[in-house]
Structure 1
Amino acid sequence: MAPRPGAQLLQPSPLAQLSRIALVAAVLGHVVQGGILDYLNVRTGRQATAATELGAGIPWVPSDNETRCYDDLGCMTLTKGWYHLIYRPFNVFPLSREMINTRFILHTRRNPTEGQVLNAENDKTIRKSDFDVKKPTKIIIHGFIDTPLSNWVKEMRRELLKKGDWNIITVDWAGGSLPLYTQATANTRLVGMELAYFLNHLISHFGLDPADVHMIGHSLGAHTAGYAGERVPGIGRITGLDPAEPYFQGMPYYVRLDPTDAKFVDVIHTDGKSIFLLGYGMSQPCGHVDFYPNNGKEQPGCDIAENPIPLTLVKEGLEEASRVLVACNHVRAIKYFIDSINSKCQYMAHQCDSFDHYMQGRCYACKENSTQCMVMGLQAEDYALSLPKTTGMKLYTTTGKEYPFCSKYFCRSLKFTSETLDTHFLGT
């Protein structure tokens, strides 16, 4: 079967759209990234017909379970467990498969720049590609109002290929990542089902070992990875990069990323101030290990006074300047992870009761073969086998203001005995 056609989405005024949902007004930060509509115009070949679907997807609370089925992907049910008066007051079903048009784009060391589209409904696209089932597979999943053409996706892909001879697959769901935010959150469930179907096809028809699969998702992409993981037994690892807070924090485990979605789930929190304070990311632990650099709320270098927009615009372009303006803390998790891939400096994090205690030097012990300390980033999986069965382990670290963000910190303590104190006082 030929790949499903895509579609361009109409984009009403973002402010008009999000005025319906005050909880997610802050996500407008990503709107200033240029290029997503242009990208969709290039990617798709027909005019938008999504208006009808968007109009049909008005918020509602079901009186009973509501179910929709999506061809070979399976069925989706909305129950009352998917609703909460404060955390998730509205819900809709996803847009159609044709509108979201999820695609899987492969890059390897043999084709580092020109991607190859893989389609589970057309095995020739897989057989004729450079996909090697014997090699580990890394899957990158973008978030709200983002595309595979974003600078960070390209940079992460490049650094991963530099690190290892791996299959790098980017999940393209740009057709479903546009506002409304409520609609985008609903679309993540269907994208997760598409990804699960694709991976299960690779497992059953090409011998892929799910333990060799590592999904890396940012914001809504982190929860998308969770939806895929729950449908693919034995997934090796999911890394959540500042998972989105609105409509996920405080909800049951099946609504969001959680430790049951893979053998090892590690999460980096960088923007957990709460959506009411314009924080986009979760502060709630949702992995086997949860890293909180700089307490997981405000990151050094994200203050506008420290990082002027005009200077960033000159250095790194419009896309990065827009991120600094409205989503710097949220995207800093991406930067830390990318920096960790090939950096000789390790982001050493320490288990502690609180960030204040960490900064007071109470948690710097790091015994060999223990989980008192772990490296944040790509190398976190090296510690997975030694983890206890408990989940939600909090680890803290600090970073610098600019690249390279990784820094070495030392805590030196002095212990005085009564004899040394006597000697000291005798000498004065």
Structure 2
Amino acid sequence: MRRLHLTDRHLRVMLWCILLGLQPAFGGILDPFNWARSDRIEVNIPWLPFENETRCYDDLGCLNITRSWYHLIHRPFNVFPLPRVVINTRFILYTKKNPTDGQLLNVNVNKTIVKSNFNPQKLTKMIIHGFIDTPLSNWVSEMKDELVKAGDFNVVVVDWAGGSLPLYTQATANTRLVGLEVAHFINTLQKEHGLNPLDVHIIGHSLGAHTAGYAGERIQGLGRITGLDPAEPYFQGMPTHVRLDPSDAQFVDVIHTDGKSIFLLDFVFMAGYGMSQPVGHLDFYPNNGKEQPGCDLTEGPLVPLTLVKQGLEEASRVLVACNHVRAIKLFTESINGKCPYIGHQCPSYQHFLAGKCFHCGHGCAIMGFHADSSPGLITNKDNETENEVYPSEEHDTIGAKYYLSTGKEQPFCQRHYKVSIQLANPKGAESWVQGFLKVTLLSDRGVIRGMDLTPSNYVKLEHGTSYTIVVTHPMDLGGKVRKV
């Protein structure tokens, strides 16, 4: 049997991670051969099951915990969900007829469906919140309002607040049962009321994204899942049945905004809340998918201003999870916004900023609500509905990363401009000269002044070379720049 040799420092870090419920992104360093997978461990460790453990939940179906749900680093603990009555999953309907007063739907009580404004012939959008969140959160209401405004949809908010509270380990387990509840809800509406699963689009944030994945596993032909910064701890690096993956729906699009990991060698490990690995058909990484502009508290008095403008809840989000919730804000803005979020397929964000993937010949996609109209996706015309979209065989997007840059405040959507400069090489040039570069662009549509070409302040420019950078601005010059 292979043994995993860890230093005292590594053991201290792992202990902190377990206590804090964090998932180390350095798993590949400590465990390069994936020896920590529980199905490769032959010693008797108390929390690892050696036989399948199964629990059934009435008409919802059954859940089991096998060795494949464990990993010494990525997912060291697993428990079963809390009872149904405790989690108390509820489904609240909003439509254009009742945009503010939700109607409670219970598929086991037929009259709650028949007497509601639910119409199975219309598209259905479902919102699933995440950890330490509720349907009363500001963002849920804002997203719901934008969806109601966008079209004549059935907008269903999934309330699982009874199971989203700490401990995080328990909340991750509860998502599996909530996934069963969502699947039962949709499957019953299909069987008894004629709902087509292809017409259903589930939007989940954090743990809600994986919840949508669990539901999709049990819904034949689910149309779409949008994962908004899917939770990283206990999911990243795990098998597909443990997390959101492309097989969970006909189309899975994901926005990553908090995938950064920081390792403090002598004390504790801190990780981003969101996944960094691609898990959908289209995976978008705005601003490299790690740190979002406007979320650095050292940039200015962001929290006090937020506290005044949007209240205590939003201020706490800025303090604790600004990067993590940015995916929500980007998606919400994309629903009715006129500016399209164009993501460029590229090997890295650095390549993207250097203009190496600027043209859509490398592959482009639309991030957010309209992702299903991206180039490279085709519509199945053979079905009765034209809502089924998926990547074409000629352009397999699974595993690819799409990069773009956004602003630090609303409107977040920006236009991308590629600027190339040929630097002169005069005889008397001195290499020690330092400075900054700005550019002004003029077109028939307007003027962009003072666009910063050296935003990181440490760009080294050499005489006689060319310098290319992709910069952003909210204004659209229509591609017709007359003067620089």
Shift of 1:381: 0.5
Q: Distance between the aligned counterparts of 1:20 and 1:296, measured in 2?
A: 25
Aligned partner of 1:200 in structure 2 is 187
Displacement of 1:409: 1.3
Q: In 2, Cα distance between the equivalents of 1:213 and 1:65? A: 33
2:314 to 312, 320, 336: 320
Q: Please, which of 224, 227, 230 is the counterpart of residue 217 of structure 2?
A: 230
State the 1:308 CA deviation. Answer: 2.4
- Alignment of 1:302 with 2:298, yes or no, is no
Name the amino acid aligned to 2:182: L
Name the counterpart of 1:398: 405
1:256-271 aligned at under 5 Å gives the runs 256-271=243-258
In the alignment, the residues of structure 1 paired with residue 366 and residue 195 of structure 2 have an alpha-carbon distance, to the nearest angstrom, of 28
Structure 2 residue runs of 5 or longer lacking an equivalent are 1-15, 25-45, 263-268, 379-390, 424-484
Larger proportion of strand: 2
Q: How far apart, CA to CA, are the structure 2 residues paired with 1:199 and 1:240?
A: 18
Q: Is the 8 A contact 2:334 2:341 kept in 1?
A: yes
> Secondary structure, in 3 states, of the residue corresponding to 1:161?
helix
| Residues 171-202 of structure 1: CA deviation (Å, up to 9, x unaligned) | 00000000010000000000000000010000
Matched, 1:344 2:338: yes
Matched letter for residue 179 of structure 1: P
Q: Which sits farther off after the overlay, 187-196 or 384-393?
A: 384-393
Structure 2 SS opposite 1:60: coil
Residue 24, structure 1, aligned to residue 18, structure 2: no
| Residue pair 1:66, 1:77 contacting (<8 A) in 2 also | yes
**2-structure distance, mates of 1:22, 1:90:** 12
Instruction: Report percent identity of matched pairs.
Output: 66
In structure 1, what is the equivalent of residue 101 of structure 2? 114
Instruction: Find the partner of 2:276 among 280, 283, 292.
Output: 283
Find out whether 1:137 has 2:131 as its counterpart.
no
Q: Note the residue ranges of structure 1 that are not aligned, 5 or more in a row.
A: 1-17, 27-58, 417-428
Query: Aligned partners of 1:304, 1:414: CA distance in 2, in Å?
Result: 33
Instruction: Confirm or deny: 8 A CA contact 1:140 1:216 kept in the other structure.
Output: yes
Shift of 1:415: 9.2
Task: Answer 1 or 2: higher relative contact order, Cα 8 Å, separation at least 6.
Answer: 1
Q: Which amino acid aligns with 1:184?
A: A
* Residue pair 1:60, 1:92 contacting (<8 A) in 2 also: no
Distance 2:23 2:356 in 1: 39
**Pairwise CA distance, 1:270:** 0.2
- Which residue matches 1:380? 371
Q: Secondary structure at the match of 1:325?
A: helix
Alpha carbons 2:23, 2:75 under 8 Å: kept: no
Structure number with bigger Rg: 2
2:63 counterpart residue number: 76
TM-score (norm 2): 0.73
Q: Which moved more, 1:236-245 or 1:59-68?
A: 59-68
Q: What is the alpha-carbon distance in structure 2 between the residues aligned to residue 277 and residue 166 of structure 1?
A: 40
Cα deviation 1:137-190 (Å, max 9, x = unaligned): 000000001000100000000001111110000000000000010000000000
Which residue does 1:36 correspond to in 2? Answer: none
Matching of residues 71-110 of structure 1 within 5 Å: 71-110=58-97
SS in 2 for 1:24: coil
Q: Distance in 2 between matches of 1:239 and 1:78?
A: 26
Aligned residues of 2:23 and 2:73 also touching (Cα < 8 A): no
Which structure features the higher share of helix residues?
1
1:70-112 residue CA offsets vs partner (Å, 9 max, x unmatched): 0000111100000000000000000000010000000000000
Q: Distance in 2 between matches of 1:389 and 1:269?
A: 20
Distance 2:179 2:399 in 1: 23
Amino acid at match of 1:244: A
User: Which position in structure 2 is the counterpart of 1:60?
Assistant: 47
Partner of 1:411: 418
Partner of 1:181: 168
Distance 1:309 1:60 in 2: 42
Q: Deviation at 1:285? A: 0.6
Q: 2: CA distance between counterparts of 1:198 and 1:125?
A: 13
TM-score of the pair, normalised by structure 1: 0.82
Displacement of 1:61 in angstroms is: 1.8
Report if the CA contact (8 A) 2:344-2:364 is conserved. Answer: yes
Measured after TM superposition, the shift of residue 395 of structure 1 is 0.2
Q: Judging changes above 3 Å, is the alpha-carbon distance between structure 1 residues 308 and 390 closer, same or farther for their aligned structure 2 residues? A: closer
